[in-house]
Structure 1
Amino acid sequence: MIPLGDEMKKTERIYTMMRFMNNRSFFTLQDLMTTFDISRATAIRDVHEIEDLGLPLTATVGHDGGYSVLTNKVLSPIYFTDDQIKALFIAFMATRNRQLPYLKSRQSIAEKLIGLIPQTQQDELIELNRLLIFEGTNPSKPDLLDLTDFSNPMLDTLLELSLTSRFVRLTTNTETYVGYLIHLLRESGSWYAQLLEFKTKTVIILAISNLMTVATLPTSKQPSQSTIQQWLSDQKKSPYLIYYLDAQAISQYHKYHPFNAQLTYRDPFQNTGMLTLRDITPLEPLINWLLFLGPGAQLIEAPVSVKNALSKHIIMLAKQFN
């Protein structure tokens, strides 16, 4: 019997059992019951779970029946370095309470990794979890597997549908929108759908929280890809502006920025970047946001309307101090 004890976690037992199976050409339920000190019912559940994880087993019925791993179909081992394990868990910690999709899968990955790594690495991860505090985390509850934030069910549904087809029909309490889904965006803790709306042939933004139903369009009602590309190209013909941002302006940018703003970093440390903006309407909120970026934002190129509005706004501010 492997000295695992009753306190052994299920995840650890499952992966130890997978290695046990891989090292044998044939095994029975009695082998598992004796080796791991478990009941027959538990052994059967574990075998089914291991099959779900992808280990290809074949069963032989009868008095001498048992299980064997299919020849030449054993899953290839995946090895992680110490730093790679830390990188994965830091990514999990940094995205807690972000209402991201596929949360259950993310949690199962964490459970699998915990079961695979030695106790010393587990202790290091626990210490990292206590040391690193990210936005939205609870420092008084340093649980590595505390990943219980769930995404909006409508986001999960729309994401799964869009993997098959980007042509969608989105319905809110008051309107129905038919179009091509460009992106799913997350901003300030909320998720949005960026949609090329067919009726107006313009790009609009819809809050996922406002959606009541989502569905794919029938193939017969889907414009061709060339038509979609042409409509998207027409969006890019609008006036645009270009700004150079230093580290301070980039920090302001990350606090808030319009969906259509694009930041391209110019150095590996992300201390400088170029800001481009294609849609300059409505103008007044745009001017307020550009001033919000601070003195670290330097104008490179902009339509005359933006330059005039900026000058007018700065003059009005200056008069308040005269």
Structure 2
Amino acid sequence: MSKAKRLIDILLFVSAKKQFTAQEIADAFNISVRTVHRYLLDLSDMGLPIYAEQGRNGGYTVLSSTILPPILFTEEEAVAIFFAFQSLHYYRDLPFNTEMKSVSQKLYESLQKEAQKKVDSLQSYIAFWNPKRAISTPLLSDVLEAIINHSQLDIQYESKSGITTKHVHPIGVYAHDGLWYMPAIHLQTEKTLLFRVDRIHSMHVSDKGYETTVHLQQWLESPHEPQQPIRLHVELTREGVRQCRSEPNFEKVLVTNSNGTGYIDMMIDQGEIHFISSFFYRLGPDAIVQEPPELIQLLRKHAQTILATYPLDS
């Protein structure tokens, strides 16, 4: 029997048994105790967390029950997984960053030399590039652990109005454009609000649970009804249409005329006006806002601020 096959068999044996002695393995596989110790050192080097207890009655304990049995990948599958991890390379913070680096290294080292050359070559020609954010998200892993445990959170959250305390039940976290977001039920109002994880200054985990049937994927895919609905109507030039096609919030509701111009006519939440005003201000005369009047006033305020910053007599 090959050494690789023997190692796999011993890995499965100790993962299922959890606690064992070298003699038990020697008896089970008809090998010497000295050979068992060599195999256990090999498995430890491969990442199996084994704790050795010294003494007459000593033995071994597998510290983790999450070791998976060996999985056979084709070369193409291994390369695909390697580059899937590469697509997350530009996120500054990930809840499993260390593990991803470890898995990528193991995958790369498991490939044949020709496959490694293929990966090296592909890395010169393909990248899942995204501007790397300088913003740190130190509480990301803690937030994710609280979500998995269905915990409620008291968070100190920074917004335009300052730092306030929010009592929430998070639904999940998702990454978008280099940032991490946490949709959560605000327990005082029973409304689902969206928080940026990097703006959470501190958090306290409550043991209290919260029953909800809302799951993250459902929340992401379902249309979100505005809490304070207001009509957004914007007339667009051809260039305005082209710009709005690149904006996820407007891409699906954009209506294009036969001459290439178009318009947006939809209901939004009044709280979104400040967020979208900078986008339409950037489009200038290529996006003429018809409604709401609050957005028009905000665009005028933006323009007046710029004019005051750069007066004609300067």
Q: Scaled by the length of structure 2, what TM-score is found?
A: 0.55
SS in structure 1 opposite 2:72? coil
Separation in structure 2 between the aligned mates of residue 133 and residue 53 of structure 1, nearest angstrom: 34
Q: Quote the offset at 1:103 in angstroms.
A: 0.9
Separation in structure 2 between the aligned mates of residue 275 and residue 87 of structure 1, nearest angstrom: 41
Amino acid at match of 1:215: H
Residues 1:250 and 2:245 aligned together: yes
Residues 1:107 and 2:101 aligned together: yes
Separation in structure 1 between the aligned mates of residue 225 and residue 108 of structure 2, nearest angstrom: 50
Please name the residue that 1:189 is paired with: 178
Q: Quote the offset at 1:23 in angstroms.
A: 7.0
Please name the residue that 2:139 is paired with: 154
Please name the residue that 2:18 is paired with: none
For 1:140-171, what per-residue CA distance to the aligned partner results, in whole angstroms no more than 9, with x for missing partners? xxxxxxxxx99734101101110121532213
For 1:205-232, what per-residue CA distance to the aligned partner results, in whole angstroms no more than 9, with x for missing partners? 4443343433333437x4x538999xx9
Q: Are the counterparts in 2 of residues 202 and 235 from structure 1 also a CA contact under 8 Å?
A: no
Amino acid at match of 1:106: M
Residues 1:289 and 2:282 aligned together: no
SS in structure 2 opposite 1:152? coil
Q: Are the counterparts in 2 of residues 96 and 137 from structure 1 also a CA contact under 8 Å?
A: no
- What does 1:51-200 correspond to in 2, within 5 Å? 52=48, 75=69, 77-82=71-76, 84-98=77-91, 99-135=93-129, 152-165=137-150, 167-172=152-157, 174-200=163-189
Pairs aligned (count): 243
Aligned match for 1:45, one of 26, 29, 41: 41
Q: Quote the offset at 1:181 in angstroms.
A: 1.5
For 1:46-97, what per-residue CA distance to the aligned partner results, in whole angstroms no more than 9, with x for missing partners? 334558389xxxxxxx9xx9xxxxxxxx936432342x33322222222213
Q: Quote the offset at 1:279 in angstroms.
A: 1.7
Please name the residue that 1:59 is paired with: none
SS in structure 2 opposite 1:281? helix
Amino acid at match of 2:156: T
Q: Alignment RMSD, CA only?
A: 5.2
Structure 1 gap ranges (5+): 1-15, 33-39, 55-61, 66-73, 139-148, 255-260, 267-273, 317-322
C-alpha change, 1:248 and 1:211, in structure 2 (3 Å) is: closer
Q: Are the counterparts in 1 of residues 172 and 182 from structure 2 also a CA contact under 8 Å?
A: yes
Q: Are the counterparts in 2 of residues 167 and 180 from structure 1 also a CA contact under 8 Å?
A: yes
Percent identity between matched residues is 15
Aligned match for 1:305, one of 281, 292, 295: 292
Separation in structure 2 between the aligned mates of residue 200 and residue 105 of structure 1, nearest angstrom: 38
SS in structure 2 opposite 1:192? strand
Q: Scaled by the length of structure 1, what TM-score is found?
A: 0.54
For 1:104-124, what per-residue CA distance to the aligned partner results, in whole angstroms no more than 9, with x for missing partners? 121122122123221110111
Separation in structure 2 between the aligned mates of residue 97 and residue 49 of structure 1, nearest angstrom: 29
SS in structure 1 opposite 2:139? helix
Separation in structure 1 between the aligned mates of residue 81 and residue 116 of structure 2, nearest angstrom: 13
